[in-house]
Structure formats: structure tokens, C-alpha cells
Amino acid sequence: MPRRWIIGLLVFCTILNASGFIWKLFEPVPLYDEIAHFVTPFVLVAVTAEIIYRFGGDDEFFDTPRHALLTGAVIGLVGATAWEGIEILLSMMGVSISNAFADSIFDIFLGVLGGAAGAWAADRYLDRLFKRSRTNARRPRVR
């Protein structure tokens, strides 16, 4: 992705989450929490994948579109589960955070979807950028 896209995504994600915490927008604004729980792993996985590729990283985890989706979903699952754990700790410390079981499960589900979508977007963009085959990253693009 162009550098301005990466910076833009990181700034958007930071503003989205910071605004939610500062002005307590997660609960009263419809879909705010859901958007934040989808967009954050999307951005983090896409940017991480790009950094790995740009620094000559191995294609072990993003070698095919299916493998990229699986990797992104797992990253989203781990990140969302860890974040829900942090929300539970914050709630125990007295911070007013909704951490109902159903909400936490849905937030984790959105994290998995966001991570998979971020991996798919990064894989698709980077395969075109490096002129690689969509089905096997070790082969050149046929077109």
C-alpha cells in the first residue's frame, strides 16, 4: 500500500478508538463498537503484513489467499481475545466498560472477520505489487 494509505489507516484507527474512549461513544452510538472491533484488526493485520513483505519477509503465512485468510483470522482471534481480557481487567478496576459475555463473543467474532479481511486485502495488494501469482506466491504472475 502506498505510505499515505498506511499512515491514513493508522491515524483513522487511532482516532476511532481514542474518540470512543474519550467521549464514551462505544455504547450510545449505534454500530460504533462493532466498527471499531472490525476496523482495528483489519488495519493492524494489513499493516503488519505489508511491513513483513516490504522487509523481505517469508511468504510462509501469506503464500496463498486461503492461507492468508487463515493467518489473518488467527491473528484477529488472538488479538480480539486479548483485548476482551483487557476489557475485563479494566472493568474489574472500576472503568465503565460493557463486557457482557454475548458482547465479548461478538467482538471476538468481529476481530476474526477484521483480521481475515485485512490479510486478504494485504495479500491481494501485495501480490499485484510484486507481480506474483494469486495461487502461489513463489511463482510470477501469468498476465
Q: Where are the domains of the chain?
A: 3-129
pLDDT at 114 over 90: yes
pLDDT at 95 over 90: no
Coil, strand, or helix at residue 140? strand
Write the single-letter amino acid at 9.
Answer: L
Reading the block at residue 17, the C-alpha cell is: 478508538
- Does 88 or 62 have the greater pLDDT score? 88
CA distance 62 to 67: 6
Give the mean model confidence (pLDDT) for residues 82-90.
92
Model-level pTM? 0.85
Confidence band (pLDDT; 50, 70, 90) for 50?
confident
Q: Which stretches of the chain are assigned E, i.e. beta strand?
A: none
pLDDT at 31 over 70: yes
pLDDT at 125 over 90: no
- Does 26 or 137 have the greater pLDDT score? 26
Lowest model confidence (mean pLDDT) among 19-28, 62-71, 77-86: 62-71
Reading the block at residue 88, the C-alpha cell is: 475485563
How many helices, marked H, and strands, marked E, lie in the chain? 4, 0
- Does 32 or 133 have the greater pLDDT score? 32
Question: CA torsion 88→71→40→52, rounded to 10°?
Answer: 120
Residues 103 and 27: beta-carbon distance below 8 Å: no
